[in-house]
Structure 1
Amino acid sequence: MSIIFFLFGLIIGSFLNVCIFRIPAGESIAFPPSHCGTCKKQLKPIDLVPVFSYLFLGGKCRYCKSKISIRYPLIELLTGFLYFYVYKYYGISFLTVKYIVLITFLIVISFIDYDTQDVYAVTTYPAVILGIIFALIEKFYFGENLLNYFMGLVISALVIFLISKLTGAMGSGDIEIHAIAGIFLGWKLAIINIFLSFIIGGIIAVLAILFKQKKKGDYIAFGPAIGISTIILIFFGNIIIPIYFGV
């Protein structure tokens, strides 16, 4: 079963590459079919096999021989491994479905934010709506406290909103991403996520400056930091909560 989740993740990861490329360009994620970004030639099914096609083609387009970014197979592998580990950690369960959905949105949002320094409502609003649906399911089918999740949403959004107003260093997209994490994780992990995302964001900023990807004072997308911290809490949140809150 583990390998099925991994392969499923590879397939979804291939689709996420399409979303990451097309959403900022204002293009449909369904039409036209996948094509080379350079020569515009429509790709055949054999050209679209996750990871394998990249290796088989030597990282180049079959038709025009233009270079294919290594990021495409890396995103496929990232999605595959994350799906694999969610299953290994949570098994066949409601939480596995819930966290796979969350991770899927986080990958798309984080990479788009990294590329464009922008967060698109078409990615965040559906994620919030699905988070609310999952919270309602947990309430009525599993007896979970609905307030836990809505507090997570409100606390996350409110704290980041206040930080944004006070410092001007964050955008509305960061509020939306934290709100997504809050409705999926609940209020305790939402609070931890705020602090953890700033720590990770600081590390990313330092590394970007050290490796000369950014200069001091440059804007650095915060979405990837929130995505990383949220994924860490998906796997280790239950361990961190007692340490953080001292219970």
Structure 2
Amino acid sequence: MLTVMNCLLSILLAVGGGLLGSRWIAASYQSAAEGVLSFPERREEQAKKRPLRLAMGLGFLFCFTLLTLHSMHPLRIAFLMVFQYFMLLYTWTDLEQRVIFDKMLIPFVLIGLVSIPLLDRVLTDHLLAAAVGGAVFLALAVLTHGGIGSGDVKLIAALGIWLGSDMLMTVVIAGIVMGGLAALLLLATGKRKKGDYFAYGPYFTISALIFTLL
């Protein structure tokens, strides 16, 4: 009975989250300044399939979480699902338009700050992870002349708030490895040329999502 209820709850949350997330993304695209979106001509096409695909992605994440972690404290599960929701949104916008919006990062950071005392985490460790992670990626962005985007820098800092130093390092290393392999594959198949912009953001968010499932 508990399994059925968890599945139904997952479906309801996924459908609602998919619709809300799709509208939020569409509104962000609509209000984006000129030059922010990499493929503005694809907005309408992308919007058609986004709600269903977002709902399916959320449904899988939420269902897996509720079924496998049902013994965890409800507050921890709630924060974990919020984390998954934002990770999926960032993955979507970065894959669709190569952008992660500040308006989506701000509530994520604020909720992360609220979660630290409620989940009995060490505030100094999480703040240090955000500061050091953000500073390191800012330096990489400067050294690579934009190879690392400003959205990636802010994403890493935001992840530091949520994950703390040890988990952030694990997620970053996994993301870099996955992104590097993907870049080599794209170069080998001719879909990217040397010097082309490559979005690393999705690989950090996917890496973070994988670790939430583990």
TM-score band (shorter)? Answer: 0.7 to 0.9
CA distance 1:210–1:76, shift in 2 (3 Å): farther
Shift of residue 190, structure 1, vs aligned partner: 0.7
> CA–CA distance in 1 between the matches of 2:63 and 2:129?
26
Shift of residue 171, structure 1, vs aligned partner: 1.7
Where does the alignment leave 5 or more consecutive residues of structure 1 unmatched?
Answer: 28-36, 39-65, 237-247
CA distance 1:21–1:145, shift in 2 (3 Å): same
Give the structure 1 partner of residue 37 of structure 2: none
4+ residue runs over 4 A deviation: 66-71, 209-213
Give the structure 1 partner of residue 105 of structure 2: 124
| 1:190 and 2:168 matched | yes
> CA–CA distance in 1 between the matches of 2:159 and 2:100?
15
CA distance 1:227–1:10, shift in 2 (3 Å): same
> CA–CA distance in 2 between the matches of 1:208 and 1:153?
31
- Please give the per-residue CA displacement for 1:18-64, whole angstroms capped at 9, x wherever unaligned: 2222212118xxxxxxxxx97xxxxxxxxxxxxxxxxxxxxxxxxxx
CA distance 1:129–1:210, shift in 2 (3 Å): same
AA at the equivalent of 1:102: F
AA at the equivalent of 2:192: K
Give the structure 1 partner of residue 38 of structure 2: none
Shift of residue 173, structure 1, vs aligned partner: 0.8
The alignment partner of 1:186 has SS state of helix
CA distance 1:101–1:170, shift in 2 (3 Å): same
Shift of residue 81, structure 1, vs aligned partner: 0.6
Q: Which structure has more RCO (C-alpha within 8 Å, separation ≥ 6)?
A: 2
**Which piece of structure 1 moves more, 183-192 or 86-95?**
86-95
Report if aligned partners of 1:13, 1:76 keep a CA contact under 8 Å in 2: yes
Give the structure 2 partner of residue 85 of structure 1: 64
Report if aligned partners of 1:9, 1:84 keep a CA contact under 8 Å in 2: no
Give the structure 2 partner of residue 94 of structure 1: 75
Task: Calculate the aligned-residue CA RMSD, in Å.
Answer: 2.5
TM-score for both structures, normalised by structure 2:
0.80
- Please give the per-residue CA displacement for 1:140-183, whole angstroms capped at 9, x wherever unaligned: xxxx3222322222232122122222223112210111122221
> CA–CA distance in 2 between the matches of 1:155 and 1:72?
36
Shift of residue 69, structure 1, vs aligned partner: 4.4
Give the structure 2 partner of residue 137 of structure 1: 118
Give the structure 2 partner of residue 171 of structure 1: 149
How many percent identity over aligned positions?
A: 21
- Which residue of the other structure, out of 2, 15, 27, is the alignment partner of 2:6? 2
Structure number, greater radius of gyration: 1
More helix per residue: 1 or 2? Answer: 2
> CA–CA distance in 1 between the matches of 2:81 and 2:46?
31
CA distance 1:90–1:151, shift in 2 (3 Å): farther
Give the structure 2 partner of residue 108 of structure 1: 89
- Please give the per-residue CA displacement for 1:161-220, whole angstroms capped at 9, x wherever unaligned: 222222231122101111222211111001111211111212332344456543343212
Give the structure 2 partner of residue 51 of structure 1: none
Shift of residue 89, structure 1, vs aligned partner: 3.4
Report if aligned partners of 1:138, 1:146 keep a CA contact under 8 Å in 2: no
AA at the equivalent of 2:81: I
Where does the alignment leave 5 or more consecutive residues of structure 2 unmatched?
Answer: 33-42
